[in-house]
Structure 1
Amino acid sequence: MIEEIRIRDLGVITESTLPLGPGLSVVSGETGAGKTMVVTAVGLLLGNRADAGAVRSGAKSASAEATLALPAGHAALARALEAGAEIDEYDGGAQLILARTVGADGRSRAHVGGRSAPIGVLGELGESLVVVHGQSDQIRLKSAAAQREALDKFAAEAERGFGTRQAAYTDLYRRWQQARAELDALRTSSRERLREAESLTQALAEIDDADPQPGEDEALKAESLKLANVEGLRLAAQTAHEALIAEDYSESPDATTLVDEARRQLDSVADSDAELADTAKRVAEVGYLLADIARDLAGYIASLDSEGPDRLAEIEDRRGVLAVLVRKYAPSIDEVLAWADASRHRLDELSDDSGRIESLAAEVDAAETSLDALGAELTRDRRAAAAKLSKRVSDELAALAMPDAKLVIEIAPAGRGPHGADDITFLLRPHAGAAPRPLGKGASGGELSRVMLAIEVVLAAVDPVPTFVFDEVDSGVGGKAAVEIGRRLAMLAKHVQVLVVTHLPQVAAFADQHIVVTKHPVSKGAGFTSSDVRLLEPEERVVELARMLAGQEDSATAQAHARELLADARTPST
């Protein structure tokens, strides 16, 4: 709900704060005092179009700011966080601040949770936070989707099992859509899929004929490099081998001979010094290691002699075969093998098209039969709920000085949709003999506000929005009808927060909070009127109601009448 609204330089209001609470809050004041600026401020905070003409004369800009208290998990909080808002959280809820500034040049800025945001974000948040019913404001139930949703929420309470059937229909519809989409895709792309299968078959045959092995391309590359440089490798290996073990006729001592001589010298004195004995052992180990290396080099030289030009030609031929695969299918042989595995799986899928098409077609047919049956049950429930909703709203309209008005809910056949097979339309028959017309057409602003009040009162328990704002709801009525309007606003306020701009004391008497807009005389040289807004104390309410009743706030008779209105408003209706 809205905890507080702050207004600055909007219309005739210089700077004011409206403290709001739960229940019913009314705003009253003399004609021209600026009562409608409260509704204008709310509209700005809901993302309505900004009007530079609403900026107070002489001011550079106007602003409206609201502090809202919302329960944890409310959809508006998630959207505000997406917009970068900073939100104050507390046990069980959170506080969100919305702000809007309108410059005298027509430029407008919005802030959500202290962060700048597009104006459209305010509109998105407003859809789940506040509903305004007034002279030119949009009707909450103007769209077919909103009307269907409202009727369904009412039906969920009025018709046993409707919610379960609706959930089952929605789930089945989703699965039917998925199956039908897959079936359509299979049927429309059969030629493409056939060509894809043929292409994969040829590619896999080529890969299977080549029979590449994991890592084979890299192994052959290394072997090819070795054979291409065989003479250099042989010379280096032979030179190293001779340095380790020289031929008998060599004049230069080899490494193994020198190491063996060193070992013999150390062994000759090993008994005299343990340290040299250990060193002799280590030198002996070096000798063994050098002998092993020499044998390995000899074997390496022998292998070079066995791998000649024929092997090199064979390797290059094989590399050529693998290069074709790499060029066509993947950057390396390992990736070619991975691509082949994935393609075999895809080929299996493509080969099973005919069986899958038959299975999906049967699934789609069965789902359509079930959808039609469930849809018929939903239609039956909706017709029953529509009759109840229409009667209850029409009864409310009779009490609101529209005795011949009737809410007509049309349910027409439609194709299968995500919520059933019905087109739902809310219509208003303003008086007997008149043709029903869509909501918002054929009714004055005051009549439309009363129609929406009647609907909201009936729907309040099943389709609540945190805050409702009504302007002109009491236009053109008085007496008993005005009392009934006030009573129904109070009924609605048991479920949600309600803010009403009114000029009728019968309505204001039902308020939980009474706010008055006071017009100040024009200051000399100022050239314009200014107003302020304040919350009335109990005795001040009596004075304001007396003014609203007779224009004589100091009249004892008027005040007595005002006290009587307040007492009657607190008395439960029978």
Structure 2
Amino acid sequence: MLRGLDISDMLIIDRLELGFQPGLNVLTGETGAGKSILLDSLGFVLGWRGRADLVRQGAAQGEVTAWFDLPADHPAHAVLEEAGLPAGNELILRRINSADGRKTAWVNDRRCSGEVLRALSETLVELHGQHDDRGLLNPRGHRAILDDFAGNGPKRDKVRQSWSALAAARKAAAVAEAEREAIRAEEEFLRHAVAELDKLDPQEGEEAALDTKRRLMQGAEKIRSDVVNAYEMMGQEGAERHLSDALRWLDGAAARAEGALEAPMAALNRAMIELDEAMSGVADAIDAMSFNPIELEEAEERLFAIRALARKHNVSPDDLAGFAGTLRTKLDALDAGEAAQAALEAAVHDAERAYDAAAEALTAARTKAASKLDKAVSAELAPLKMERAVFATQITEEVAGPDGRDAVSFTVATNPGAPAGPLGKIASGGELSRFLLALKVCLTQGQSGLTLIFDEIDRGVGGATADAVGRRLKSLAADGQVLVVTHSPQVAALGGHHWRVAKGVAKGMTTSTVTPLSPPERVDEVARMLSGDTITDAARAAAEALLAG
């Protein structure tokens, strides 16, 4: 509920501090006095998109502050929580518009964006007027309005969930089919490549090992003969024989040498041991250098085959095994694709059936609610002197989507036998006002915490009809808060709280003021609305009669 509005330097408003009350609040004044500026200012602090030139001429910036009562169960708390903003039993919105057009906003003294303000405004205020396209006159919102009236939230959520599941199932099936088609296009290549790779069966690290082996075998041909010659020089016909002969001669002379040959003989024995080890190592090397020429040819052929296949598929030789696995996986997917695709198509079919069931249930609920809403609006039209008018909620089938397959439109026929048409095109100004009011009375039953603003919704009506409009507004405000900008004395007389908007000129500056009216002042204001600038005794008496009810 809106409790106060503080406006500084906005258009022709210098400074205004307004306090609003529960019930029916009426604002009256001459045309051009500034009533619309109040709504522009309120819309500005609520983040609504409106006129840009709001700052009063000569001022550096304009500022608007609005504060609301916020019960614990008010839906604005969810918006505040999602935005990470502090909450309490009072909500304070403040927004500044600088002369250069920059806008800055705060919620409970925390900076926020215009989007957050607009999200909050949807839970705080509804504005209605003859030319309002934000709410009841916009056909794009009629389906949501009907769902809110019917309490279709859970059914609508189920349809949305079913639609999401259906969209996901269709996407999965389409992606899988596209992948299968792409694989099928290269099936011949895949089968040939896998067969070629399987036949060669390259192993990780094999290319490097073959290259090393090949180089060793190629080098062995050149050095093996030298190594064999060296081995022969160390053997029985070479160093080994000479060392053995030397030890045998020294051993024969050792007994007569008085120990002088012991050290040389020990050294020769060690030399014989080292020679034996050297000969053993050389023999092993000779064995390692022994190879079959066919083995070298086979190693070269396999090495060249691995390298050629790697170049063909543009991968490294060590990656050939993994590449073969990747191609094999694609083939397996193609071979198993028929069964997998059938399962995906079955999932799509199941999702379609689930969506159809949810959408049909929502359509049935909407149809039932439409009949209920039509009867409720018709009942409200009679007190508004439109008992012969017909209000009808039309439901037609449209392309399926996340909100079902129903298009909803509010239509009216102002006279029996007249063709029905869109609410905003068929009704005249006065008729439209009453249609909107009747519809709003039906839609707000059971709601609380919302401030309803009606901008000259009584335009085009007068006398008993204006009185009927005022009484419906008063009834609508009984459990909440309604603000009405009006030129109708009948409506103004029914207000629980009355403000007069006036425009004046001081020191060459035009300003607008808003004054709460006392009971005697209300009499004068209602009399002015009845008679014009000159308030007669008859007008005052008529005003007193209206105010007395």
Give the corresponding residue for 2:513: 532
Give unpaired runs (5+ residues) of structure 2.
223-242, 244-276, 529-533
In 1, distance between residues paired with 2:540 and 2:296? 118
In 1, distance between residues paired with 2:447 and 2:284? 92
In 1, distance between residues paired with 2:214 and 2:5? 83
In 1, distance between residues paired with 2:90 and 2:307? 65
CA 1:315/1:143 → structure 2, altered by over 3 Å: closer, same or farther? farther
In 2, distance between residues paired with 1:556 and 1:222? 122
Q: Quick one: which amino acid aligns to residue 89 of structure 1? A: P
Q: Deviations over 1:86-133 (max 9, x none)?
A: x65135x78463525274xxx63333336585x777666655554322
C-alpha contact 1:34 1:517 (8 A) present in aligned 2 = yes
Return the offset for 1:491: 4.4
- Say how many residue pairs are matched: 484
In 1, distance between residues paired with 2:351 and 2:449? 36
In 1, distance between residues paired with 2:214 and 2:125? 79
Q: Percent same amino acid at aligned positions?
A: 34
Which one of the candidate residues 428, 441, 444 is aligned to 1:457?
A: 441
Return the offset for 1:447: 4.0
In 1, distance between residues paired with 2:210 and 2:351? 58
Q: Quick one: which amino acid aligns to residue 90 of structure 1? A: A
In 1, distance between residues paired with 2:216 and 2:518? 105
Q: Deviations over 1:448-500 (max 9, x none)?
A: 34322322221124788944321012223345544543443344446665332
In 1, distance between residues paired with 2:67 and 2:219? 83
Structure-2-length-normalised TM-score: 0.68
Q: Deviations over 1:297-329 (max 9, x none)?
A: x99997798379999998887666665666676
Q: CA RMSD in A?
A: 5.1
Give the corresponding residue for 2:95: 99
Q: Quick one: which amino acid aligns to residue 382 of structure 1? A: R
Q: Deviations over 1:522-541 (max 9, x none)?
A: 22x51x4312235x3xxx44
Q: Quick one: which amino acid aligns to residue 36 of structure 2? A: T
Which one of the candidate residues 178, 184, 192 is aligned to 1:194?
A: 184
CA 1:326/1:48 → structure 2, altered by over 3 Å: closer, same or farther? same
Give the corresponding residue for 1:134: 129
C-alpha contact 2:166 2:348 (8 A) present in aligned 1 = yes
Return the offset for 1:366: 5.5
| Corresponding residue SS for 2:103 | strand
Give the corresponding residue for 1:108: 101
CA 1:401/1:59 → structure 2, altered by over 3 Å: closer, same or farther? farther
Which one of the candidate residues 126, 148, 165 is aligned to 1:153?
A: 148
In 2, distance between residues paired with 1:115 and 1:97? 10
2:90 maps to 1:89: no
Give the corresponding residue for 1:306: 288
Give the corresponding residue for 1:406: 390
Give the corresponding residue for 1:548: 525
In 1, distance between residues paired with 2:101 and 2:379? 43
C-alpha contact 1:26 1:511 (8 A) present in aligned 2 = yes
C-alpha contact 2:67 2:90 (8 A) present in aligned 1 = no
Which one of the candidate residues 349, 354, 358 is aligned to 2:333?
A: 349
C-alpha contact 2:40 2:50 (8 A) present in aligned 1 = no
Alignment of 1:268-417 (within 5 A): 306=288, 341=325, 344-365=328-349, 368=352, 372=356, 375-417=359-401
In 2, distance between residues paired with 1:49 and 1:487? 31
Q: Deviations over 1:498-556 (max 9, x none)?
A: 33222445544665654443434x22x51x4312235x3xxx44134212322399989
C-alpha contact 1:3 1:21 (8 A) present in aligned 2 = yes
C-alpha contact 1:25 1:514 (8 A) present in aligned 2 = yes
C-alpha contact 1:544 1:553 (8 A) present in aligned 2 = no
Alignment of 1:420-569 (within 5 A): 420-461=404-445, 466-478=450-462, 480-493=464-477, 497-504=481-488, 506-508=490-492, 511=495, 514-520=498-504, 522-523=505-506, 525-526=507-508, 528-534=509-515, 536=516, 540-551=517-528, 565=547
In 2, distance between residues paired with 1:403 and 1:200? 78
In 2, distance between residues paired with 1:55 and 1:492? 34
In 2, distance between residues paired with 1:229 and 1:305? 14
| Corresponding residue SS for 2:426 | coil
| Corresponding residue SS for 1:28 | strand
CA 1:423/1:334 → structure 2, altered by over 3 Å: closer, same or farther? farther
Q: Quick one: which amino acid aligns to residue 525 of structure 2? A: M
In 2, distance between residues paired with 1:355 and 1:478? 74
C-alpha contact 2:420 2:426 (8 A) present in aligned 1 = no
In 2, distance between residues paired with 1:332 and 1:8? 75
CA 1:419/1:365 → structure 2, altered by over 3 Å: closer, same or farther? same
Q: Quick one: which amino acid aligns to residue 469 of structure 2? A: I
Alignment of 1:24-173 (within 5 A): 24-44=24-44, 45-52=46-53, 56=56, 59=59, 62-67=62-67, 71=74, 76-77=79-80, 81=83, 88-91=85-88, 95=91, 97=93, 99=95, 101=97, 103=99, 108-113=101-106, 126=121, 129-156=124-151, 166-173=156-163
In 2, distance between residues paired with 1:562 and 1:59? 42
In 2, distance between residues paired with 1:478 and 1:187? 68
Greater shift in the superposed pair: 220-229 or 17-26: 220-229
CA 1:314/1:29 → structure 2, altered by over 3 Å: closer, same or farther? farther
In 2, distance between residues paired with 1:554 and 1:306? 133
In 1, distance between residues paired with 2:155 and 2:78? 25
In 2, distance between residues paired with 1:216 and 1:112? 70
In 1, distance between residues paired with 2:116 and 2:132? 18
Return the offset for 1:67: 4.7
In 2, distance between residues paired with 1:19 and 1:313? 103
Give unpaired runs (5+ residues) of structure 1.
82-86, 157-161, 232-248, 250-294, 569-574
Structure-1-length-normalised TM-score: 0.66
C-alpha contact 1:88 1:95 (8 A) present in aligned 2 = no
Q: Quick one: which amino acid aligns to residue 548 of structure 1? A: E
Give the corresponding residue for 2:165: 175
Alignment of 1:214-253 (within 5 A): none
CA 1:388/1:323 → structure 2, altered by over 3 Å: closer, same or farther? same
In 2, distance between residues paired with 1:462 and 1:299? 104
Give the corresponding residue for 2:274: none
Return the offset for 1:194: 0.7
CA 1:414/1:353 → structure 2, altered by over 3 Å: closer, same or farther? same
C-alpha contact 1:508 1:514 (8 A) present in aligned 2 = yes
Greater shift in the superposed pair: 550-559 or 341-350: 550-559
CA 1:308/1:407 → structure 2, altered by over 3 Å: closer, same or farther? farther
| Corresponding residue SS for 1:108 | coil
CA 1:371/1:533 → structure 2, altered by over 3 Å: closer, same or farther? same
Greater shift in the superposed pair: 32-41 or 556-565: 556-565
CA 1:307/1:360 → structure 2, altered by over 3 Å: closer, same or farther? same
Give the corresponding residue for 1:246: none
| Corresponding residue SS for 1:399 | coil
Return the offset for 1:384: 2.4
Return the offset for 1:38: 1.0
| Corresponding residue SS for 2:453 | strand
C-alpha contact 1:12 1:33 (8 A) present in aligned 2 = no
C-alpha contact 2:80 2:87 (8 A) present in aligned 1 = no
